[in-house]
Chain A
Amino acid sequence: MGEGQAGGSKPFDPLESFRGLRDVYLDAMAKAMVEAVNTESYAKASGAMLDATLTLSAPMREGLEKSMPPVLEQLSLPSRQDIVALAERFTNLEMRLDDMDAKLDRILGLSHPAQPGVPAETAAEPVAASAPAVKARPARTRPAKPVAARTPAAAAKPVARRRKAAPSRQPGRKGAK
């Protein structure tokens, strides 16, 4: 491709003669369509179409939702509801672990206060400094964090506040209904 262009002979393009016309047509169509979709009638039509689709599909969806759990139970397989309930419990556990992590940070910070004005660093830091931005390293969970990485005030505030503000903050929970 490039060689042909470098040699000065422009490759033949069968669409070239139509390109200008095409672009003019598309520009005009684009403007017309933008105006068309920004009207009440389009909003009404698209809303009606979505409503009809949802109404028509509802019986099948509801039928499946009702019929599948007994079938899965017969097959000794978990249903979607079972997995959702399990996932919610996992998230709740993660929240509690995060709360404990915050408390631990606070305790460690109080017992080993960082020197004022000296920012903490992480285990990741040594890897970083001279690494060129070339390739992403595989992410790892929970990198080791030296005690010095913690500062007293960095820890407990969100947890303490959250507890006050959110008496029932189970993940994904009932509150949304």
Chain B
Amino acid sequence: MEQAPAITEQVALVEERLRTLNKVMTTKAAIAQTPKELVWTLNKAKLYRYIPVVPKEERHGIPLLLVFALMNRPYILDLRPGHSFVEFLVSRGYDVYLLDWGVPGPEDKHLKFDDYALDYIPRAVRKVKAISGSEEFSMLGWCIGAILTTIYASMLPNHGLRNLILLTAPLDFGNKQDITFARWTDEKYFDVEKVLAAFGNMPGEMIDYGAKALKPVENYIGNYIKLWDNLDNPQIVEAWHAMNTWVTDNIPLAGGAFRQLIVDLYQNNRLMKGEMIIRGQRVDLGQLRANLLTVIAGADHITPPCQSEAILSKVASRDKEIFHVPGGHIGIMAGSGAHKLTWPHIDGWLGARSSPKLDGRN
């Protein structure tokens, strides 16, 4: 007699789980909720300014421009309320701007690092300066955004960049043994021209496959098992839903930039060797003079730590620091521990260098 209610209860439980699963797998989470305003556009790129919540007199004087990778959506920086790096920064009194590269179309297949670093970023910077009224600014580049900001900072060192923060920056491609992507994209096996002839831009689905194939079991099986095991836990389900919304929102990478990423960087390590040519000029990392913080994820399988360490010995910055954080490529900024470790460290470092006065500046 006691079995019947127990079975009914179990059926209801399974039904509830399936409903949750269906919702999570078929809908998009509410992401990027921090209030913002569009202040500049160019082609697909958009510059947003986040609405300050701290009175003007209590804010940091130096604005901060966030530059994310080209082939993922930047709202990972503003994933969901209470778990948003942007929201954290705004609440800490920063004047925060986000450069969203948008989705390149077939007409953008020739866009290169040259265009992003020397056309788009300087124009966005000009707008940041005009709006903030500050001649100096800080920049945070993440992943390929870190490559672009490094190129920009090296080629235009007198444009007022005071502080540069690089997150999981793939800059040094010399250690091919430890970089799985470098192995896969070796010219012996990977014909970049053939791929671009077929697609124009590198499709987001292929980039997504590449990233997931680095850890196939975790990404294709473990991730869903984790969700199934925790379908009764609304907090975990909400976090999973938001992250899955971001992970599955793939965008292509402009063909010209993809070619440079593979040929110049993965295959020939030209940036670190001082041989990378951007718009006819050699990129000299020795010209980078901004205060520099490099954040390295200890368990990063996309950008192994060896890729981000050598930059410090190449730049002319006198104020430079490496910060090692346990975690993965995305987890260090969007994981459950980010607000306890990575964000406060960045805030501490940047806050001490964001006064309008010239303290701490090289």
Distance in angstroms from B297 CB to nearest chain A CB is 16
Docked CA distance A154–B126 (Å): 6
* Chain B residues positioned under 8 Å from A11 (CB to CB): 9-10, 13
Interface residues of B in 1-56 (CB under 8 A from A): 6, 9-10, 13, 16, 32-39, 41-43, 46, 48-49, 51-53, 55-56
* A137 close to chain B: CB less than 8 A: yes
Distance in angstroms from B21 CB to nearest chain A CB is 13
Distance in angstroms from B135 CB to nearest chain A CB is 6
Is the CB–CB distance between A173 and B123 below 8 Å? no
Interface residues of B in 48-72 (CB under 8 A from A): 48-49, 51-53, 55-56, 61
Docked CA distance A132–B51 (Å): 9
Q: Mark A95-109, 1 if CB is under 8 A from B, else 0.
A: 100100010010000
Given contact pairs A12-B10, A158-B126, A162-B122, A149 touches B279 in the complex (Cβ within 8 A)? no
Q: Mark B287-331, 1 if CB is under 8 A from A, else 0.
A: 000000000000001000000000000000000000000000000
* Chain B residues positioned under 8 Å from A149 (CB to CB): 130-131, 133
* A21 close to chain B: CB less than 8 A: no
- Interface residues in B, total, Cβ within 8 A: 85
Given contact pairs A12-B6, A132-B53, A84 touches B198 in the complex (Cβ within 8 A)? no
Interface residues of A in 64-102 (CB under 8 A from B): 80, 83-85, 87-88, 91, 94-95, 98, 102
Is the CB–CB distance between B130 and A105 below 8 Å? yes
Is the CB–CB distance between A129 and B53 below 8 Å? yes
Docked CA distance A135–B34 (Å): 6
- Contacts between the two chains (Cβ within 8 Å), count: 230
Docked CA distance A145–B286 (Å): 37
Is the CB–CB distance between A48 and B217 below 8 Å? no
Is the CB–CB distance between A84 and B107 below 8 Å? yes
Is the CB–CB distance between B42 and A153 below 8 Å? no
Given contact pairs A26-B222, A151-B133, A177-B110, A137 touches B34 in the complex (Cβ within 8 A)? no
Given contact pairs A37-B214, A175-B112, A133 touches B122 in the complex (Cβ within 8 A)? no
Find the residue from A122, A124, A134, A172 having the highest chain B CB count within 10 A. A172
Given contact pairs A30-B222, A162-B122, A37 touches B180 in the complex (Cβ within 8 A)? yes
Q: Mark A16-41, 1 if CB is under 8 A from B, else 0.
A: 00010010001001100110011110
Is the CB–CB distance between A87 and B186 below 8 Å? no
* B195 close to chain A: CB less than 8 A: yes
Given contact pairs A19-B229, A120-B130, A172-B110, A134 touches B189 in the complex (Cβ within 8 A)? no
Distance in angstroms from B131 CB to nearest chain A CB is 5
Docked CA distance A48–B39 (Å): 46
Is the CB–CB distance between A61 and B198 below 8 Å? yes
Is the CB–CB distance between A172 and B107 below 8 Å? yes
* Chain B residues positioned under 8 Å from A130 (CB to CB): 53
Is the CB–CB distance between B9 and A151 below 8 Å? no
Docked CA distance A95–B156 (Å): 19
Is the CB–CB distance between A30 and B189 below 8 Å? no
Interface residues of B in 184-204 (CB under 8 A from A): 184, 186, 188-191, 194-195, 198
Is the CB–CB distance between A43 and B106 below 8 Å? no
CB nearest to A120 among chain B residues: B133
Given contact pairs A158-B125, A171-B115, A91 touches B221 in the complex (Cβ within 8 A)? no
Contacts A124-B39, A125-B56, A169-B115 known; 18 new A-B pairs at CB < 8 A: A5-B232, A33-B217, A87-B107, A95-B119, A119-B61, A119-B132, A120-B132, A121-B131, A128-B53, A131-B35, A133-B87, A139-B48, A145-B131, A151-B133, A154-B130, A158-B123, A165-B118, A176-B259
Binding site for A on B (CB under 8 A): 6, 9-10, 13, 16, 32-39, 41-43, 46, 48-49, 51-53, 55-56, 61, 81, 84, 87, 90-91, 105-112, 114-115, 118-119, 122-123, 125-126, 129-135, 156, 159, 180, 183-184, 186, 188-191, 194-195, 198, 213-218, 221-222, 225, 229, 232, 255-256, 259, 279-281, 301, 356
Which 8 pairs, one residue from A and one from B, show the smallest C-beta to C-beta distance?
A47-B189, A120-B133, A119-B133, A139-B38, A158-B122, A176-B110, A87-B107, A128-B51
A–B complex contacts, Cβ < 8 Å, 7 sampled:
A47-B188, A91-B42, A134-B81, A135-B35, A157-B159, A165-B279, A172-B109
